[in-house]
Amino acid sequence: MVKQKVTIKDVAREAGVSISTVSNALNGVDVLRPETKQHILDVAERLNYVPNLNGRNLKSQCTKVIGLFLTSIRGTYYNILADAVYQECKKYGYELNIFISERADNMMANILGKRMDGAIILNKDIREKETILLQKTQTPIVFLDRELQGERMTSVIFDSYHEGEMVAQYLLSIGHHTFAYINGASDNYDNMKRMQGFQTALMQSGIQFDEIDIIEGEFEKEIAYESMKQFVQSGRPLPEAVFAANDLSAIGAVKALIDGGIEVPEQVSVVGCDDIEIASLVRPSLTTMRTSFEKQGTLAVQHLIALISGEEKGCIDVLQGRIIPRESTCARRI
């Protein structure tokens, strides 16, 4: 017997509410009590209900639209990534819709409502609960911020852990013994992996790395500048080398050190990550770990198109980085 598709009427009947109430809950209309909305969402999930936002069954139709789900478009990374995704979409005849949201329910309604053929996700608010549902519904998905693999689920990620290891090994190789790390967003996948790899490589070399050696940066030049300025003014011993989670925070740290009368790299070496265009233009030019935002965006679209067409199954594609030595680091003089 063929299992019938669950309809909005089924959800309303099971939840004991009207169809319009279910519609309001699924579309995030703020007219319901929180407990009523949650009850309806729980029932919809239990029944594996997939909303059809266009009011008709598009299951067998191709929209030629890809969704890119972000939490921000601020900063070099998001700008370059989004443009790379868009340019690659055009090559395949696809439109790109960009969604910036912190509401998992709205994002899932758009993804599962057949408004797009697949989605590229760089959004921490889509959590395990949502990813399980995406796997159940066999929705073509490419993640850029976590390692997940399924029948129609792929990840395209930077090898951030190894990048952290390589930076530590590079700084150790040129004679540095004390270190600090400028933190990115605390819940960001790449930041966490870079810091873990950096810490592990230092510990394996017999160097203890403590919480006190972590300086806040939030991936922002201004925040890193103020944090490093406070560090210098505190009178604490300066680290011989600093690794920043991205280039912007590294540039902010270098400026704070120089403004505080500290010579870079003679007193403190600084390494960034990403190799954005300005990294080679600032003075001193920035030593950095080169990643490729463009390549990540391009590969994400290529994998997603292959998942949509059924030409490939899900995989994990890991992009390798490499160190670009410049003026912000030098060998430690004994």
pLDDT in tens, 110-136: 999 888 999 999 999 999 999 999 999
173: Cβ contacts below 8 Å, ≥ 6 apart: none
Query: Confidence band (pLDDT; 50, 70, 90) for 80?
Result: very high
**pLDDT number for residue 2:** 44
Q: Three-state DSSP class for 271?
A: strand
pLDDT of residue 333: 75
Give the pLDDT confidence of 133-149 residue by residue, as tens digits. Answer: 999 999 999 999 999 99
Confidence of residue 208 (pLDDT cuts 50, 70, 90): confident
| 166, pLDDT greater than 90 | yes
Write the CA distances from 239 to 114, 214, 262, 300, integer angstroms: 53, 11, 11, 38
Contact residues for 93 (Cβ-Cβ < 8 A; gap 6+): 64
Is the confidence at residue 203, as pLDDT, over 90? yes
Dmax (CA) of the chain? 79
CA dihedral 323, 326, 330, 331 (to 10 degrees): 40
Q: What is the pLDDT of residues 304-323, one digit of tens each?
A: 999 999 999 999 999 999 99
More confident residue, 69 or 18: 69
% of the chain at pLDDT higher than 90:
74
pLDDT band at residue 177 under the 50/70/90 scheme: very high
Under the banding of pLDDT at 50, 70 and 90, the label for residue 215 is very high
Question: What pLDDT, on a 0 to 100 scale, did the predictor assign at position 172?
Answer: 97
Q: Report the distance separating Cα 88 and Cα 112, nearest Å.
A: 23
The whole-number average pLDDT for the span 216-239 is 95
Confidence (pLDDT) at 55 = 47
> Which tens digit of pLDDT belongs to each residue from 262-312?
999 999 999 999 999 999 999 999 999 999 999 999 999 999 999 999 999
Q: What integer pLDDT is reported at residue 238 of this predicted model?
A: 94
What is the pLDDT at residue 323? 97
Residue among 289, 254, 290, 249 nearest 269 (CA): 254
Compute, in degrees rounded to 10, the torsion defined by CA atoms 71, 73, 74, 77.
Answer: 100
| CA-only gyration radius of the chain, Å | 23
Task: Tell how far CA 154 is from the center of its chain.
Answer: 14
Distance CA 145, CA 274 (A): 15
* pLDDT of 61 above 70: no
Distance CA 127, CA 110 (A): 16
Q: What is the rounded average pLDDT for all residues in the chain?
A: 91
- Identify which has the larger pLDDT, 169 or 8: 169
Residue 289 has φ and ψ, to the nearest 5°, of -95, 115
Q: Is residue 334 scored above 70 in pLDDT?
A: no
52: pLDDT strictly greater than 80: no
Q: Which of 193, 123, 114, 203 has the alpha carbon at shortest distance from 159? A: 193
